[in-house]
Amino acid sequence: MAWKSFSPGHSMCFAFLLYLGCLFASAAEIGKKVELRANRENLKLSEASLKPQQIHISLGDTATDMTIMWATRAHDISVVEYHTGDRQKAVKVEGETMKLETTNEDGAKYLHRVCLKGLQSQVKYYYNVHGESMDTLSDQFSFTMPPVMAGNTHSFMVYGDLGTETHNIQFLLQEALNEKYEAVFHIGDIAYDLNRGQGQIGDKFLQKIEKVAARTPYMTVPGDHERYDEFLHYRYRFSMPNLPWPMPSDNLWYSLDVGPIHFVLYSTEVFFYDEVNIEKMLVWLKADLDKANTQRSARPWIIAMGHRPMYCSVDNFHEDCKRDHSIVRTSLEDVFYAEGVDLIISGHEHYYERTWPVYNKKAVQYNYREPAAPIHITIGTLGSVYMTDKSTNVGGQWSAFVLSETGKESFGRLKVFNATHLHWEVRECSNNKLVDQIWIIQPYHRPFNLPRVFIPNPLGEMGEKWLENENSLGLESFLGLSGSHYGDDYQTKLTVLCSVFVICLLGLMLRKKVLGFIRLCCLKQEPCNKLKSAVHNNVGANV
C-alpha cells in the first residue's frame, strides 16, 4: 500500500530533493575551496599590509633617547628590537599604534612609535621593527647616538621645502649617509603635501627618505604645506622631542639640546593660520630661551628654526618677509635679539639668502666675528622644482648673499666645532659644489641687549644650585667630579680653583708666622707663659 501510494509525482519530488542535496553539497565543497583560496590570499595580503614601511627615527626627549616610527596598512602592535652588535642580547621594546583616518584604500594608516631610552652617547645601535608576528620583521638599520662630551664636532644637514619631486633626492640621501650627520633638519614644507592623494604623497615621501631617515634622526617643523586638517598628517607621521604623540595641534614647537647647542624649533604657521596659539607659543619661547640663557656656559650656541623667514630679498611683495611690518619679524625678532639667539634658519622662500648680523632691519656689522645680533639664513632652494622665488634686488643693507637661480637645488651643512666656532656652508646638489660658507666666531654668547663684556656670576649655575639646596648636590657634583658632561659649570669650577689657589698662597706667605706661633705656644710653654704674664702685668699696671 505504501508502495502504491508512492506516485510518480512523489518520485519526481524525491529525485528533485536528491538533486538539490547534491547541489548543496557541491556548492558547499566549492564554497570551502573558495574560502580557502580567499584565506590564503588574505594571508598574503595581510602579510603585505603588515609589512613595516616608512621607517624613520628622531631624537628623543633627552640625549639618551631615540624615537623610532613606521607605518603599516593593517593594524598591528609596535615592537623594536635593538642591540649593539650582538643579536643574542637584543632588547625588545613595545610602543604604541595609532590610526590615521584617511580614505586612501592602500594607505599605510596605522602608525607606530617606539621610544628607546637609556642609550649611550657615541654608541652604534642596530635595530629591527616588527609587529605581532615575526614574519613582519623589517630590515636591520643602525644609528649612532650623538656625543655629549665636550671636544666633539657636531654636524647637521639642514634644508626646507623638499618634496617628492626634487631632482636630487638620491644625491641628498647619499650625502646624508656619507657625511654621517647627527641629524637632518627639514624646516617645513615636507612632502607637497603629506595629505595629498589622501595620504599617498605622504607615504611616498616617507618611503623615499627611509634610507636616510631610518639611520639619521629626521627633525621637522611644520610649514604652510602641513596645515591640512589641523596638521593631521604631520602630527601623526612625525614625533618630536618633549611632545606627546600624536603631536597636539596647538603645540607644534619644541626644543632640544645636542652637545653645546640648544635648538629651538618653532611654528611660524601660528601667525597665519591658528592665531589663537600665538600667545601660547610666544610665552613658551620666552620661557625656553630664558632657561637656555641660564645654561649658556654649558650650551653656548642657540639656534632657532622655523619655516617662514623674517628677512628676504624675493621679488614677490606679497610675501610676509618682504613687508615692512612682517608678522613673523615683529613677533619674534625682539625675543630672539634679547635672548641672544645666534642663528635663525628658515625655508619657505625657494631660494638661498644669508644676512649680516641684523636687528631692526639694520646690519649691525659686516662680518661674523663676535656678532652683536642674530644672523638669518633661508635655505628653501629644494622647493624650486615647484616654483623658484626670484630675487633681482637685494632687500636691504642687511643682505649678505643671495642665490636664486632656477634649478639650483642646494642644502645646508651646519658644523659646530666648539663654544666659539660655528661653520655654515651651502652646497649645490647636482655637483656638490660649495656655493657659500661662513665662520661665525662668538666668544661672548649673551643676550644681545647686554653689553659685550659682562661680569659673569662667580658661583655659576651649579654653585647657585648648591647654595639653594645643599642636600641635592654633594661636593662631588659641585666640583664636577661626577662626569664631565656639558652640564659641568665652568664658572663654579673656576671659583673653587681660585679659592683653593688663594688659600694655598696665603698659607705659603704666612707660613713663618704660623709655624712660629705653633712653636711658641705648643712646643715651648715657657715663652708662651712669659707672654701671658707680660700681658697680665701690663693689665695690672694700667689698673
Ligand X SMILES: *[C@@H]1O[C@H](CO)[C@@H](O)[C@H](O)[C@H]1NC(C)=O
Give the contacts of 375 (CB within 8 A, at least 6 positions apart): 342, 343, 344, 354, 355, 356, 357, 358, 368, 440
Nearer to ligand X, 140 or 420 (CB): 420
Nearer to ligand X, 172 or 375 (CB): 375
Give the separation between CA 468 and CA 227, rounded to whole angstroms.
Answer: 45
Minimal distance in Å, beta carbon 134 to ligand X?
48
Among 273, 417, 444, 490, binds ligand X (CB under 6 A): 417
Minimal distance in Å, beta carbon 375 to ligand X?
18
- Check if the beta carbon of residue 97 is closer than 8 Å to that of residue 110: yes
Nearer to ligand X, 251 or 420 (CB): 420
246: cis peptide before it, omega within 30°? yes
Nearer to ligand X, 161 or 489 (CB): 489
- Closest by alpha carbon to 100, among 251, 249, 246? 246
Give the separation between CA 288 and CA 298, rounded to whole angstroms.
Answer: 15
Nearer to ligand X, 323 or 415 (CB): 415
Nearer to ligand X, 280 or 421 (CB): 421
Minimal distance in Å, beta carbon 490 to ligand X?
12
Q: Is 510 helix (H, G, I), strand (E, B) or coil?
A: coil
- Closest by alpha carbon to 106, among 138, 73, 67? 73
Minimal distance in Å, beta carbon 419 to ligand X?
7
Residue 323 lies near ligand X (rule: CB under 6 A): no
Minimal distance in Å, beta carbon 441 to ligand X?
8
Residue 83 lies near ligand X (rule: CB under 6 A): no
Interface region with ligand X, contact rule CB under 6 A, candidates 97-105, 200-208, 294-302, 413-421: 413-421
- Closest by alpha carbon to 273, among 310, 322, 309, 222? 222
Nearer to ligand X, 64 or 420 (CB): 420
Minimal distance in Å, beta carbon 49 to ligand X?
50
Nearer to ligand X, 207 or 418 (CB): 418
Site string for ligand X, 362-401 (x = CB under 6 A): ----------------------------------------
Give the separation between CA 193 and CA 231, rounded to whole angstroms.
Answer: 11
**Residue where the block lists cell 615592537:** 79
Interface region with ligand X, contact rule CB under 6 A, candidates 4-12, 257-265, 418-426, 497-505: 418-426
Beta bridge partners, 56, equal 69
Interface region with ligand X, contact rule CB under 6 A, candidates 192-200, 272-280, 414-422, 523-531: 414-422
Burial of 384 (0-12, 13-18, 19+ CB in 10 A): buried
- Check if the beta carbon of residue 73 is closer than 8 Å to that of residue 99: no
Q: Give the Cβ contact number of residue 542 at 10 Å.
A: 6
Minimal distance in Å, beta carbon 121 to ligand X?
20
Supply 50's cell numbers. 603588515
Minimal distance in Å, beta carbon 443 to ligand X?
9
Give the separation between CA 131 and CA 46, rounded to whole angstroms.
Answer: 12
Interface region with ligand X, contact rule CB under 6 A, candidates 10-18, 139-147, 415-423, 453-461: 415-423
Supply 149's cell numbers. 662630551
Residue 155 lies near ligand X (rule: CB under 6 A): no
Extended beta strands in 30-189, E state: 53-59, 66-72, 79-83, 91-94, 96-99, 110-116, 124-130, 141-144, 154-159, 183-187
DSSP 519: I
Pairing of strands 154-159, 352-355: unpaired
Nearer to ligand X, 22 or 149 (CB): 149
Among 418, 432, 457, 491, binds ligand X (CB under 6 A): 418
Interface region with ligand X, contact rule CB under 6 A, candidates 2-10, 255-263, 416-424, 481-489: 416-424
Give the helix/strand (H/E) hosting 344.
Answer: strand 343-346
Nearer to ligand X, 168 or 297 (CB): 297
Minimal distance in Å, beta carbon 396 to ligand X?
31
Minimal distance in Å, beta carbon 162 to ligand X?
29
What's the 3-state SS for 249-293?
CCCCCEEEEECCEEEEECCHHHHCCCHHHHHHHHHHHHHHHHHHH
Residues from 39 through 78 that contact ligand X (CB under 6 A): none
Minimal distance in Å, beta carbon 303 to ligand X?
17
Give the separation between CA 516 and CA 502, rounded to whole angstroms.
Answer: 21
Beta bridge partners, 258, equal 261
Nearer to ligand X, 295 or 420 (CB): 420
Minimal distance in Å, beta carbon 417 to ligand X?
4
Minimal distance in Å, beta carbon 152 to ligand X?
11
- Closest by alpha carbon to 261, among 155, 369, 376? 155
Nearer to ligand X, 153 or 538 (CB): 153
Among 295, 420, 457, 491, binds ligand X (CB under 6 A): 420
Among 323, 421, 465, 493, binds ligand X (CB under 6 A): 421
* Gyration radius of the chain over CA positions: 34
Minimal distance in Å, beta carbon 297 to ligand X?
14
Residues that bind ligand X (CB under 6 A): 417-418, 420-421
